[in-house]
């Protein structure tokens, strides 16, 4: 059972569940925004999302055996703890269930076309694992878009089906907030993916992959990583100055839990040399993403106060 939890990356799935629950219950419901999903509905949406995400993690592990054998031999699962056939069966089952539940929830909100989202996400995760991951930057961008979609999909299913001429302004305002969080997630994940590529350069090179550090070298990639890591810092500072300056709680939270760690990441990237350094940067970015998710609670607490 532990091996199954590890191959589906249960910690990442918990992050998805937490994010989608907070978008609904900390951002949308407390403000009385017109929404389309009840408790059972959001549970089904979350279940469909994590099933497809878990399937993506499984197929990724199947096609990463060669690189993982070099990069992290102590964490190999496919071919060691779980056979490749079992992993493929798990991939198929998770995809089938996720897409099936996605079909049901799309019809439940009266937007059957939304079903295509689940099919596209499922297909992209497969193409990413089997091909795009080996290409220059495209794989990094695609997987970062899919991470952003795990947030945005709540807005799509909650807000868009309930959109009317009368509530259009308020619906789009809250959709923009969710979209901003999705953009932040995209940026951070893209930075993390590049950091992981530098960390895994040895195994990726032996597997014939064409990642950014393999194509242009570790030092040039690190420079690009440093420049990219400045963007979310500047964006959050701009957001604090222009939108949050009157909200002491929000200013304090974003300054100490988002901006501070991001500046520390900038410093670590600038000085990074070893595989251990990039692994630390990758984990720190995940922590900042978690802090970003918890910032949704600020909307709830400000409303209550």
Q: What is the mean pLDDT of the chain?
A: 91
Per-residue confidence at 71, pLDDT binned at 50, 70, 90? low
| Residues pairing with 82 in the sheet | 78
What distance in Å separates the CA atoms of residue 110 and residue 37, rounded to the nearest whole number? 11
Decide: 66 and 206 in contact? Cβ < 8 Å.
Answer: yes
Half-sphere exposure of 15 (CA within 13 A, CB side): 20
Question: 3-class DSSP state for residue 8?
Answer: coil
Per-residue pLDDT of 147-156, as tens digits, reads 999 999 999 9
pLDDT tens, position by position, 170-210? 999 999 999 999 999 999 999 999 999 999 888 888 877 88
Query: Tens digits of per-residue pLDDT, 99-148?
Result: 999 999 999 999 999 999 999 999 999 999 988 888 889 999 999 999 99
Tell me the CA distances in angstroms from 260 to 152, 187, 294, one per residue in order. 26, 17, 16
Residue 292 pLDDT greater than 70, yes or no: yes
Tokens 């499984």 belong to residue:
58
Tokens of 294: 């918890």
């Amino acid at each position: 059972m532990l091996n199954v939890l590890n191959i589906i990356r249960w910690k990442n799935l918990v992050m998805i569940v937490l994010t989608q629950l907070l978008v609904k219950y900390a951002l949308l419901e407390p403000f009385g925004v017109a929404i389309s999903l009840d408790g059972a509905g959001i549970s089904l949406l979350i279940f469909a999302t994590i099933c497809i995400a878990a399937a993506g993690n499984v197929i990724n592990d199947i096609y990463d055996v060669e690189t993982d054998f070099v990069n992290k031999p102590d964490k190999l699962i496919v071919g060691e703890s779980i056979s490749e056939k079992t992993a493929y069966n798990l991939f198929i089952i998770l995809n089938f269930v996720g897409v099936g539940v996605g079909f049901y929830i799309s019809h439940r909100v009266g937007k059957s076309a939304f079903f295509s989202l689940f099919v596209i996400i499922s297909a992209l995760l497969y193409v990413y694992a089997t091909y795009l991951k080996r290409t220059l930057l495209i794989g990094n961008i695609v997987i970062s878009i899919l991470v952003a979609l795990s947030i945005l999909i709540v807005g799509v299913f909650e807000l868009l089906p309930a959109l009317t001429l009368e509530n259009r302004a308020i619906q789009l305002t809250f959709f923009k907030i969710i979209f901003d969080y999705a953009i932040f997630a995209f940026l951070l994940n893209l930075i993390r993916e590049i950091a992981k590529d530098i960390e895994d350069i040895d195994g990726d090179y032996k597997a014939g992959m064409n990642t950014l550090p393999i194509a242009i070298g570790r030092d040039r990639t690190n420079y690009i990583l440093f420049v990219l890591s400045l963007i979310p810092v500047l964006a959050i500072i701009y957001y604090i100055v222009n939108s949050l300056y009157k909200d002491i709680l929000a200013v304090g939270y974003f300054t100490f839990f988002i901006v501070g760690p991001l500046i520390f990441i900038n410093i670590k990237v600038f000085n990074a040399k070893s595989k251990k350094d990039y692994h630390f940067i990758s984990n720190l970015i995940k922590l900042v993403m978690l802090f970003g998710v918890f910032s949704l609670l600020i909307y709830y607490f400000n409303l209550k106060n």
